[in-house]
């Protein structure tokens, strides 16, 4: 099993999301991990000590000054027995204590005393998450090498909508598995763009394309499984983003370029997104209405070419830049010319003629074009294309 022999110290903070941590314990144990739970005082308001320790099949630690515990296992030792410390939910308060180095209860003392890696799954009200103080703490924690999973966007228990929902238990499990994945891409940072972009015509209409995001999502999953830290910049795709990767959601090509530039530097960058080549330069901030004066005229402007920008950036260019080419005819000739024009190292070319069923489908037949020439791969599932491409990327980076 993926987590056999791994020991996780799970600190459950005081948030409504604490109930999801019960499921997290169950899923970690199913995968072979041992879980030692620590429940904060505030956490006890949301889940009972009995349910936590029963699910963990372990003693629950609650109090810094519990003499019995100190005799059994001191807090310093407790903080170090684990292979990974996971804080879920990580409340704004816990994040703040961690960033400041405060140690005034068992959880914060363990976090200050530990010398093992720490991963947090933040959960809080959207305004608390967006508050400059929390964002400052987040930067500090990332700088301290603390891994952060989520939070996700969504409806919140407090009735608001936005970022702040704790990542789902399976997303946390995947991030934990990726943390332990000792693959050839461990320590590498890889950027992946995916999905279509939406270019607004007016507030309710947009121009889009048929990309589902399936190939980019499969590739991000395969790279993470080899140990990479994947930054996944995605337009509005049909398939949900993979878990265990850093997700940045965008709508337009311009937003995608900004997100990509913000995510660099990276060891490799793979551009699987189907970026709209044009945007409506005359996009209206009001809904266009039917009018007696005739039909509306849309004017277009060219979008930035994100792949080309990164492939030709000179200093700070990722070592390996990979583009995709969606062609309907003369696939190899067009894709070879595209590789030159864009300045990328590889082009993964595919035939997206409607009769192939590739765009929006589950299979792909690709040709990998590099300076060594064109290499045709047999038709296979998008997952298999992703696995093979991830293996080739690992070869190229090591
Ligand atoms: N791409 C990009 N930014 C754009 C357009 C495309 O990053 N504005 C990337 C895609 O993610 C893909 C590659 O460029 O990796 C090829 O895109 P494609 O649309 O096939 O190529 P174009 O440059 O648009 O060429 P053409 O329209 O002639 O096919």
Atom of ligand 1 nearest to the CA of 309: 7
Q: Are residues 195 and 338 in the same domain?
A: yes
Q: Are residues 331 and 393 in the same domain?
A: yes
Q: Which of 261, 263, 312, 324 to mutate to test the pocket of ligand 1 (most atoms within 8 A of CB)?
A: 324
Q: Residue 368 — very low, low, confident or very high, per pLDDT cuts 50/70/90?
A: very high
The whole-number pLDDT of residue 70 equals: 57
Compute, in angstroms, the gap from residue 246 CA to the centroid of ligand 1: 23
Atom of ligand 1 nearest to the CA of 324: 15
Known catalytic residues are 158
Compute, in angstroms, the gap from residue 302 CA to the centroid of ligand 1: 12
Say which CATH number the domain at 108 has. Answer: 3.40.50.1950
Q: Is the pLDDT of residue 1 over 70?
A: no
Q: Which of 306, 343, 359 to mutate to test the pocket of ligand 1 (most atoms within 8 A of CB)?
A: 306
Q: Are residues 69 and 189 in the same domain?
A: no
d(CA 104, CA 365): 58
d(CA 123, CA 94): 10
Q: Are residues 169 and 123 in the same domain?
A: yes
> What is the span of the domain harbouring residue 36?
1-180
Domain edge (last residue) among 116, 151, 180: 180
The answer, yes or no, to whether the previous bond of 151 is cis (omega within 30 of 0) is yes
**196 and 276 in contact (C-beta within 8 Å)?**
yes
Backbone angles phi, psi at 165, to 5 degrees: -70, 135
The whole-number pLDDT of residue 155 equals: 75
pTM for this model (two decimals): 0.68
Q: Are residues 222 and 118 in the same domain?
A: no
d(CA 320, CA 300): 32
CA nearest to 236, candidates 250, 246, 257: 250
Cα–Cα distances in angstroms (integers) from residue 177 to residues 17, 27, 171, in the given order: 21, 12, 10
What is the bridge-based pairing of β-strands 300-302 and 278-280? antiparallel
Write a three-state SS string for 143-202: HCCCEECCCEEEECCCCCEEEEECCCHHHHHHHHHHHHCCCCCCCCEEEEEECECCEEEE
Over range 206-223, report the average pLDDT.
Answer: 93
**Cα 34 → chain centroid:** 25
Q: Are residues 58 and 133 in the same domain?
A: yes
Domain edge (last residue) among 160, 180, 200: 180
Domain count for the chain:
2
Atom of ligand 1 nearest to the CA of 326: 20
Residue whose CA lies nearest to ligand 1 atom number 4: 305
Compute, in angstroms, the gap from residue 266 CA to the centroid of ligand 1: 20
Compute, in angstroms, the gap from residue 378 CA to the centroid of ligand 1: 23
Paired with 373 in beta bridges are 370
Q: Are residues 298 and 174 in the same domain?
A: no
Say which CATH number the domain at 254 has. Answer: 3.40.50.10300
Q: How many CA atoms lie within 13 A of 362 on its CB side?
A: 1
Compute, in angstroms, the gap from residue 143 CA to the centroid of ligand 1: 34
**154 and 166 in contact (C-beta within 8 Å)?**
no
The whole-number pLDDT of residue 73 equals: 63
Q: Is the dihedral of CA 221, 223, 228, 229 positive or negative?
A: negative
Q: Are residues 147 and 38 in the same domain?
A: yes
Q: Is the dihedral of CA 173, 177, 180, 185 positive or negative?
A: negative
Ligand 1: lining residues by beta carbon, under 6 Å: 193, 253, 271, 273, 275, 277, 303, 305-307, 323-326, 338
Tens digit of pLDDT for each residue in 153-173?
877 676 778 889 999 998 899
CA nearest to 305, candidates 340, 342, 279: 342
d(CA 144, CA 262): 19
Domain edge (last residue) among 135, 153, 180: 180
Over range 366-385, report the average pLDDT.
Answer: 94
Residue whose CA lies nearest to ligand 1 atom number 8: 305
Over range 244-257, report the average pLDDT.
Answer: 92
The whole-number pLDDT of residue 81 equals: 85
d(CA 313, CA 344): 11
Q: Are residues 263 and 391 in the same domain?
A: yes
Q: Are residues 165 and 74 in the same domain?
A: yes
**19 and 47 in contact (C-beta within 8 Å)?**
yes
Compute, in angstroms, the gap from residue 299 CA to the centroid of ligand 1: 20
Q: Are residues 199 and 161 in the same domain?
A: no
Tens digit of pLDDT for each residue in 86-142?
999 999 999 999 999 999 999 999 999 999 999 999 999 999 999 999 999 999 998
Q: Are residues 142 and 48 in the same domain?
A: yes
Q: Which of 220, 305, 344 to mutate to test the pocket of ligand 1 (most atoms within 8 A of CB)?
A: 305
Atom of ligand 1 nearest to the CA of 277: 8
What is the bridge-based pairing of β-strands 363-364 and 380-381? antiparallel
Atom of ligand 1 nearest to the CA of 323: 15
d(CA 53, CA 240): 33
> In 226-345, which ranges are E strands?
229-234, 246-249, 268-271, 278-280, 300-302, 320-327
């Amino acid at each position: 099993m993926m987590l056999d022999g791994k020991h996780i110290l799970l600190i459950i903070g005081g948030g409504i999301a604490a109930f999801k941590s019960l499921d997290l314990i169950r899923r970690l144990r199913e995968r072979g991990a041992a879980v030692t739970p620590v429940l904060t005082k505030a956490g006890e308001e949301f889940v009972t000590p009995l349910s936590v320790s029963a699910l963990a099949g372990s003693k629950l630690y609650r109090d810094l000054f519990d003499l019995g515990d100190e005799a059994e296992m001191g807090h310093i030792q407790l903080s170090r027995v684990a292979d990974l410390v996971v804080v879920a939910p990580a409340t704004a308060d816990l994040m703040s204590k961690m960033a400041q180095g405060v140690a005034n209860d068992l959880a914060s003392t363990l976090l200050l005393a530990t010398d093992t890696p720490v991963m947090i799954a933040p959960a809080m009200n959207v305004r608390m998450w967006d508050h400059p103080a929390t964002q400052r703490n987040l930067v500090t924690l990332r700088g301290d090498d603390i891994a952060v999973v989520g939070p996700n966007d969504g409806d919140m228990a407090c009735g608001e909508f936005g970022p702040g929902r704790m990542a789902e238990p399976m997303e946390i499990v995947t991030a934990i598995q990726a943390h332990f994945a000792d693959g050839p891409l461990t320590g590498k940072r890889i950027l992946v763009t995916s999905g279509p972009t939406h270019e607004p015509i007016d507030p309710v209409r947009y121009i889009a394309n048929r990309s589902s995001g399936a190939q980019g999502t499969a590739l991000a999953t395969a790279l993470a499984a080899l140990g990479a830290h994947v930054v996944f910049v995605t337009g509005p795709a049909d398939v949900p983003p993979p878990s265990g990767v850093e997700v940045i959601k965008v709508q337009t090509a311009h937003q995608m370029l900004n997100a990509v530039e913000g995510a660099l530097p990276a060891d490799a960058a793979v551009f699987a997104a189907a970026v709209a080549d044009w945007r409506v330069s005359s996009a209206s901030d009001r809904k266009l209405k039917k009018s007696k004066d005739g039909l509306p005229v849309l004017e277009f402007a060219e979008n930035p070419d994100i792949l080309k920008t990164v492939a030709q950036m000179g200093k700070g260019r990722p070592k390996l830049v990979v583009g995709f080419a969606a062609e309907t005819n003369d696939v190899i000739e067009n894709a070879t010319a595209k590789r030159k024009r864009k300045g990328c190292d590889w082009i993964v070319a595919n035939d997206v003629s409607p009769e192939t069923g590739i765009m929006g489908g589950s299979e792909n037949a690709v040709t990998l074009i590099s300076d060594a020439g064109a290499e045709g791969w047999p038709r296979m599932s998008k997952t298999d294309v992703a696995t093979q491409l991830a293996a080739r990327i690992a070869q190229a980076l090591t």
